[in-house]
A and B are shown apart, each in its own frame.
Chain A
Amino acid sequence: MEAIEIWWIPLVIFAPLAGALLNGLFGKRIGKGFVRLVGVGTPTLAFVLSLAAFFGLFYADYGTSPRAQVVAFRAEGKPEVIRAIKAELERRAAGSLGPEAAWQFRIEDDGEVLRIRNASPEDTILRDLHTRYAGSVEFGPAHEVASPRAYAWNLGEWFAVAGLKVDFSFTVDRLAIVLMLIVTGVGSLIHLYATGYMGHESPGTFARFFTYLNLFLGAMLVLVMGSNLLLLFIGWEGVGLCSYLLIGFGYEDEDNAACGTKAFVVNRIGDLGFVLGMFTLLVAMRGLGAEPSLDFAALNNTLGATPGSLPLLGPACLLLFLGATGKSAQIPLHLWLPDAMAGPTPVSALIHAATMVTAGVYMIARLGAVFTAATVWGVPVLGIVAMIGVLTAFFAGMAALGQDDIKRVLAYSTISQLGYMFVGVGSAAMGAAVFHLVTHAFFKALLFLAAGSVIHACHSQSMREMGGLWRKMPATFWTMLLGAAALAGVPLLSGFFSKDFILFNALVRFNSTNSSPLWGFIYALGVITGLVTAVYSTRMICLTFFGEYRGHGRPHESPSSMVGPLVVLAILTVLGGLLGLPKLWTHKEELLPGEWLGPMWPFIEERLAGNMPADLHSLESMGLAIGSVAAVAGVLVGVVFWGRRHPSEIAWESRQTGALARARAVLANAWYYDLVVNKWGFQPATKFLAGLLWRNVDDAAIDRGLVDGTGRVAVQLSLFVRSFQNGQVARYAGYFVLGVLLLTTSVAIFSVPSVLHTVQRLLGS
């Protein structure tokens, strides 16, 4: 990868950080107008800079030639043929004024592959050559730009100790820029929305809110742009801090603060895995004799080069994945995200849906080569990732079905959708996962902001106190409907394409040679979860917008600062699918996941080559059909159960008795996981253990027993010794005789010379 140094790259990070600093120091005193300007302006500036970087990268790779494809000749075991072809092509290109003048050649893979940039498989010269060497040479598009461009800037050394050097260096490559555009773009929209949502707060609170929100963007950008694992970790913990501060934003209610604390602590458990995984990678690197480094390029190139050969990679990646389950709320550490809904709704949209929680997916994609090379006892780590992902998707999706609080529906939905993303990375379809990350950022941010608009109007989060709002809040209704449809996977909306592309990749794994039947399970559960998703999406829309209004007051549409972002996000939600239309329809690589991101993981295709099922097209059409049926069926189920014009749809659920009521209770409590693991498990166990040790060991046994006991023994001893000195001369004489006897006996036993010798030796002379 060629990195071009550009000095303004760090400005993308510094812009929101400067915003945080300005608002934090002066916001309260200067007033809301200033806070609004700085709070929304700096993320927008970061977005503009990101756009500039994007166009730079785009034209660097595509600008020179509109065709800009890469084709390859492959001749296994015959490098001489490849050399002959190259010589021939260079001769043909040399004097030409045609498109072949732009060809760039590169021989790779021990001379067995010749890649040609800026060429097309349709070129007659190339096809002629292929015919000439037919039988010994394969020819076709290489599905990649040979070396996609990246921008980088190094701000200098962070620390260097005993051979390990870590820099403050940032890289903007094709993967990072996608995340940067989402973080700054969707982030700016949410900041704008928040100026309306938080508009009634006092200037101090308002300034504090935007300080944290801007700080979050800065940290998230460090996470995305850092070019080594430790820098990613700074961002990783930095966003965790902002999440903590913003969940507990309304700190005067201690419950909010407790939710923040819980989120931080649970994430710290994951981070424990993260750092241990990082250390294991370092040790693995030393095992290869490589210089220790935490740079992604070094990690991927050295550790990811030889799949299955390094036994340490498996544990390392599992530990890193534990970190990902914390940040991205997957089983077993998902329990903090529903409670994170205690934060203001724009926070939920930005941090707990669109950006921060996807960090785990991003981290795995970043370390793609390492993760694809890792196995534990012969099981690929990515398979485990996919399995955890699909299980999380299913269990969280079911839990979403049992929630009455609209934000908790969306929280469980987010956990579930993140699960899909892990199925994506787990299927080695990093691009598909990032594609879903992008569309999910659009539609889930939209759903949260629309929910916020509803909450703003009804002054309640419970869907029991909503209903019939579609007439009162038309803009909110229509935009939220689109978001919910995208979430449900209704065909042609963005969520449909991205989710089905992930499931298609799982299906491909299942149909590959030497596949495990578990991939079939993953695919099937993924489809079932898709159906569940459609059901709870429909339920949410029905309970919120249809039937009679069950709440208090007179709800009305939100101000334009809130509706505006909804409309923009709704447009993105609808059009987002264009970023990855299936190959089946376009006969080209999918735009975002294939064409743009594919070159980030060139090895994946090679590693899977030979295992691919023969007929991808029919698999893909089957996948699309099954996905569509599941989504439509789910919507129908939802409409049948919750869509009737009943005054109080939710009463239908409450009226149930017996098995259905029990099932509802199980789902409402999200399978009782939090209750059992946290409230009955971790919390009391820690407190009990701490209290027990404190009272019985520290205070009683060590301090009062051992320490004070020693003191008491000393006092008693001195009292005893004092009793000898009682002034009776006759007794003194008795002690004297006793002493002399003891002394002579001991001298007789340990003869004099040896005593003297010991004394001499002790004195060293």
Chain B
Amino acid sequence: MEHQLLLVTLFLPLVGALFMALFLPQEDEGAARGAALGISLLTFAISVPLFFLFDAQRPGYQFELAWSPGGLGPFALDSFGASFKLGVDGISLLLILLTTFLVPVSLLASWRGIAKHVKSFHVAVLLLEFAMVGVFAARDLLLFFLFWEIMLVPMFLLIGVWGSEGRIRAAIKFFIYTAVGSLLMLAALAYVYVAAGRTFDLDVIEPLFAEMRADGLLGARAQFWLCLAFAIAFAIKVPVFPVHTWLPHAHVQAPTAGSVILAAVLLKMGGYGFLRFCLPLFPDGVAALAGPLCVLGAIGVVYGALMAIAQSDLKSLIAYSSISHLGLVVVGIFAGVGGAVAAGHARAVTGSVFQMIAHGLSTGALFFLVGAIYDRRHTKKIADLGGLAKPAPRMATCFVVASLASIALPGTAGFVGEILILMGVYENSVAFAALGATGMVLGAVYMLWAVQRVFFGPARGENARMEDLGGVELAGLLPLLLAAVYLGLRPGPFLALLEPAVNALVQGS
């Protein structure tokens, strides 16, 4: 029963997308919007029971399901050691829930912003959901890689077709950056495949590699290069300084739904990859790379924040804030590697995963709101805006709440994530914790300064006639903001879910 739930969560968006592509009339925009929203809501509804059915006490993967068809001659999956294998632990489960939660929200975010090829747009978003859930659920390396690559296509289209003026350039930049990472990962993947005796099954590879490491068959050198190849692919996705420059372009050009999904889910692929592959498979490689990655992460915290301060475009300001927040996540994942206090590392890694969720909610809400402003004023330039709180109090309230969640005010999810990361990192490295904590101050600078310039002061010209948020938009935004607050006040059950998975990672490394 539970296994089918995971399967349905994965395939419902795909089936829905195919259904829409084949049976819905091209011109009926309302039907396309409604169908896509319905399918994504249903997907979310089906994924929620997974949370309750998951046994937080039990370590390892749950809802596992494997299918390896033979008898297809050269095309049989089992003939070359691949299988259709799914399964989740606490980390992937939370990220899947984040995905299924954010997709309907993102559809509402683009409810009025998308005017052309409406049906195709919604098909693309559903395909993207399919790929994202697949990435988090795959327990087979090849399958993971397939989903990873599939994900690229709808996102490329979302930016390239429905984006604003500079969309083509941004889409290509996004594509090439990711492709470079994928190529390196593919090479490493091939090595792992061969080294593991021609299998892609992660449940086989993980214990096997542990044995090989113990027996000296997988040396530190090999681990280093493999880890590096994976890490570069993931670092680009996070994105870690200095391979981050695709992100502001992609965000600024992408349609609102694209930005929301990009910030909320796609940026989590990098952190997820570090945790899922680098830490358990190549601990010696991680030991060598943790230092440099921490340095880059810490640079990202400060640098991303400073970049955000320098922006004149509201959307790119928020994009750079993501680089700052996710830099802290990278520090949290790696700062405790080889450190003296394992409990500290566990706290920091738990905090990192939680921070990824929190960032998805708060930054998703911020992009949602920037989209709403753009739909009305057709500008994202901070200088063109101002005084919006007077004509649009609901929008101002939501933006302030989202900003506060973004700068980790206690009582929001971001605080729990950030404090756990900093606390855990501090126990192993005071310097990285201190550097990471500067984000607390700089975050307040750029975020509140933006709030001040956009929403406060006198409202002039068109700003004075700003239309406030409507019902559809509130229906998308309020769940995000409420979730951010709820997770800040009752993080317990979610953290409990992460504990076995994180413990396994920390002991393994």
**CB within 8 Å for A686 and B404 given contacts A252-B457, A702-B245:** no
CB–CB A693/B306 < 8 A: yes
Within 667-712 of A, Cβ neighbours of B (below 8 Å) are at: 686-687, 689-691, 693-695, 698, 702-703, 706-707, 711
Interface flag for B422 (CB, 8 Å):
yes
Residues of the A chain whose Cβ atoms lie less than 8 Å from the Cβ of B433: 276, 279
**CB within 8 Å for A275 and B307 given contacts A248-B456, A707-B245:** no
CB–CB B444/A265 < 8 A: yes
Residue of A nearest to B416 (CB): A159
- A242 CB → nearest B CB, Å: 11
Interface flag for A161 (CB, 8 Å):
yes
CB–CB A686/B389 < 8 A: no
Residue of A nearest to B193 (CB): A764
Interface flag for B123 (CB, 8 Å):
no
Cα-based distance from A161 to B390 in the complex (angstroms): 43
Residues of the A chain whose Cβ atoms lie less than 8 Å from the Cβ of B368: none
CB–CB A276/B434 < 8 A: yes
- A26 CB → nearest B CB, Å: 15
Q: Report how many residues on chain B are interfacial, defined by Cβ distance under 8 Å.
A: 61
**CB within 8 Å for A272 and B350 given contacts A161-B499, A286-B341:** no
Interface flag for A733 (CB, 8 Å):
no
Residues of the A chain whose Cβ atoms lie less than 8 Å from the Cβ of B309: 686-687, 690
Which of B87-95, B280-288, B447-455, B468-476 forms part of the interface with chain A? B447-455
Within 204-261 of A, Cβ neighbours of B (below 8 Å) are at: 204, 230, 233-234, 236-238, 241, 244, 248, 251-254, 256-258, 260-261
Interface flag for B242 (CB, 8 Å):
yes
**CB within 8 Å for A686 and B176 given contacts A157-B492, A161-B495, A283-B426:** no
- A217 CB → nearest B CB, Å: 16
Binary B-proximity of A699-730 (CB < 8 A = 1, otherwise 0): 00011001100010000000000000000000
Of B242, B437, B458, B491, the residue contacting A702 (CB under 8 A) is B242
- A753 CB → nearest B CB, Å: 21
Within 718-765 of A, Cβ neighbours of B (below 8 Å) are at: 763-764
CB–CB B420/A161 < 8 A: yes
Cα-based distance from A745 to B458 in the complex (angstroms): 78
CB–CB B427/A251 < 8 A: no
CB–CB B441/A272 < 8 A: yes
Residues of the B chain whose Cβ atoms lie less than 8 Å from the Cβ of A162: 343-344, 346-347, 350, 424, 499
Q: Is the interface of B mostly helix, strand, loop or mixed?
A: helix
CB–CB B441/A268 < 8 A: yes
Residues of the A chain whose Cβ atoms lie less than 8 Å from the Cβ of B377: none
CB–CB A158/B492 < 8 A: yes
Within 211-247 of B, Cβ neighbours of A (below 8 Å) are at: 242, 245-246
- B349 CB → nearest A CB, Å: 9
**CB within 8 Å for A161 and B346 given contacts A276-B437, A690-B310, A707-B173:** yes
CB–CB B427/A286 < 8 A: yes
Interface flag for B438 (CB, 8 Å):
yes
Interface flag for B194 (CB, 8 Å):
yes
Residues of the B chain whose Cβ atoms lie less than 8 Å from the Cβ of A236: 410
Binary A-proximity of B455-488 (CB < 8 A = 1, otherwise 0): 1111100000000000000000000000000000
- B457 CB → nearest A CB, Å: 3
Q: Is the interface of A mostly helix, strand, loop or mixed?
A: helix
CB–CB A693/B310 < 8 A: yes
**CB within 8 Å for A265 and B306 given contacts A160-B492, A162-B343, A279-B426:** no
CB–CB A694/B457 < 8 A: no
CB–CB B423/A282 < 8 A: yes
Interface flag for A465 (CB, 8 Å):
no
- B342 CB → nearest A CB, Å: 8
Residue of A nearest to B343 (CB): A162
CB–CB A264/B444 < 8 A: yes
Residues of the A chain whose Cβ atoms lie less than 8 Å from the Cβ of B195: 764
Interface flag for B419 (CB, 8 Å):
yes
CB–CB B310/A257 < 8 A: no
CB–CB B306/A686 < 8 A: yes
Residue of B nearest to A168 (CB): B489
**CB within 8 Å for A161 and B350 given contacts A252-B387, A261-B449:** yes
Interface flag for B440 (CB, 8 Å):
yes
Cα-based distance from A252 to B459 in the complex (angstroms): 8
CB–CB A269/B441 < 8 A: yes
- B319 CB → nearest A CB, Å: 12
Of B176, B387, B456, B495, the residue contacting A160 (CB under 8 A) is B495
**CB within 8 Å for A763 and B303 given contacts A161-B350, A272-B438, A276-B437:** no
Residues of the A chain whose Cβ atoms lie less than 8 Å from the Cβ of B434: 276
Within 285-309 of B, Cβ neighbours of A (below 8 Å) are at: 303, 306-307, 309
Residue of A nearest to B309 (CB): A690
Residues of the A chain whose Cβ atoms lie less than 8 Å from the Cβ of B184: none
Residue of B nearest to A164 (CB): B347
Cα-based distance from A687 to B442 in the complex (angstroms): 11
- A243 CB → nearest B CB, Å: 13
Cα-based distance from A248 to B389 in the complex (angstroms): 12
Residue of A nearest to B249 (CB): A703
Interface flag for A163 (CB, 8 Å):
yes
Residues of the B chain whose Cβ atoms lie less than 8 Å from the Cβ of A272: 437-438, 440-441
CB–CB A264/B448 < 8 A: yes
Interface flag for B81 (CB, 8 Å):
no
CB–CB A254/B423 < 8 A: no
- A686 CB → nearest B CB, Å: 6
CB–CB B422/A158 < 8 A: no
Residues of the A chain whose Cβ atoms lie less than 8 Å from the Cβ of B307: 690, 693-694, 698
Interface flag for A144 (CB, 8 Å):
no
Cα-based distance from A702 to B427 in the complex (angstroms): 34
Interface flag for B411 (CB, 8 Å):
yes
Residue of A nearest to B341 (CB): A286
Interface flag for A271 (CB, 8 Å):
yes
Cα-based distance from A237 to B422 in the complex (angstroms): 17
Of B310, B422, B423, B440, the residue contacting A694 (CB under 8 A) is B310
CB–CB B457/A251 < 8 A: yes
**CB within 8 Å for A257 and B426 given contacts A157-B492, A162-B347, A251-B457:** no
Enumerate 25 A-B pairs (CB-CB under 8 Å) in ascending A order.
Answer: A159-B416, A159-B420, A161-B347, A161-B350, A161-B420, A161-B495, A162-B346, A162-B424, A164-B343, A204-B393, A238-B409, A254-B452, A254-B458, A256-B456, A258-B452, A275-B419, A276-B434, A279-B433, A686-B306, A690-B307, A690-B309, A690-B310, A693-B306, A702-B242, A763-B194
Closest 10 CB pairs of A and B: A254-B457, A257-B456, A694-B310, A690-B310, A703-B245, A279-B426, A234-B410, A690-B309, A162-B346, A251-B456
Other contacts beyond A164-B343, A257-B456, A261-B448: 11, CB < 8 A: A161-B351, A162-B499, A236-B410, A238-B409, A248-B456, A258-B452, A268-B440, A279-B423, A292-B343, A693-B310, A764-B194
Chain B residues within 8 Å of A, Cβ to Cβ: 173, 176-177, 194-195, 242, 245-246, 303, 306-307, 309-311, 341, 343-344, 346-347, 350-351, 386-387, 389-390, 393, 404, 409-411, 416, 419-420, 422-424, 426-427, 433-434, 437-438, 440-441, 444-445, 448-449, 451-452, 455-459, 489, 491-492, 495-496, 499
